[in-house]
Amino acid sequence: MAYTAVKICGLTTHEDVVAAVDAGARYIGFNFFHKSPRYVNLKTAAQLAADVPVGVAKVALVVDATDEVLDDLTSQVAIDMIQLHGKETPERVSEVKTRYGLPVIKAIGIAGPEDVAKIDIYARVADQLLIDAKAPKDAKLPGGNGVPFDWRLLADKKYWTVPWMLAGGLTVDNVADAIRLTGAKQVDLASAVESSPGRKDPAKMQAFIKAAQS
């Protein structure tokens, strides 16, 4: 059986964190973007981070966050990685890495061939990449919209110099095909394993991770 690392993002309760870990998630994501239905404040995130066992990475998702915001976050929440999910430049990625001494995941939105070139650029500065579907122009969220992109865009570009995750519209029904087509060794999702926005379904998490690793 192939091993695929799964990141479950947008956890908001103790019960969901425990269920995600029990299901086999290797990364737990906390969303600090205020407009998201999965947003958590620093106090809640600090409590939830304490529930995550050693060996499971705690990831903070932020969107175009200032140093002031990141200073507060990193001083109050025991996170392991920072996920930049906005319009951060390569220079900003490097700044964040240097300032906080934490691994940085940079999310890159893909809609067409012209977007794929960004992957090589950010691979030079980020520790990991999250390759997601580009949000529609009228979308309120930069990610987590539950829509896939054309995975064939990655079919001949499976290997970069840093680890990467596939995201965007993954479900229990399509994740195996997505992995076969792209060669992804890590996948990320939020909405497909929810019973309602911001609340995870233990059975859905179990089923998804089983499908991803089959």
d(C-alpha 200, C-alpha 150), whole Å? 26
9 catalytic, yes or no? yes
- Number of other residues whose CB lies within 10 A of the CB of residue 146: 16
d(C-alpha 76, C-alpha 54), whole Å? 18
Q: Which of 64, 71, 115, 132 is catalytic?
A: 132
In 160-211, which ranges are E strands? 164-166, 186-189, 194-196, 199-200
Task: Give which of 77, 86, 65 is closest to 29, Cα–Cα.
Answer: 77
d(C-alpha 45, C-alpha 40), whole Å? 6
Q: Which of 9, 16, 51, 188 is catalytic?
A: 9
d(C-alpha 193, C-alpha 189), whole Å? 8
The answer to whether 56 and 49 have CB atoms below 8 angstroms apart is: no
**Backbone φ and ψ of 120, nearest 5°:** -65, -35
Let me know if 213 is exposed, middle or buried by CB neighbors in 10 A (0-12, 13-18, 19+).
Answer: middle
Positions marked catalytic: 9, 132
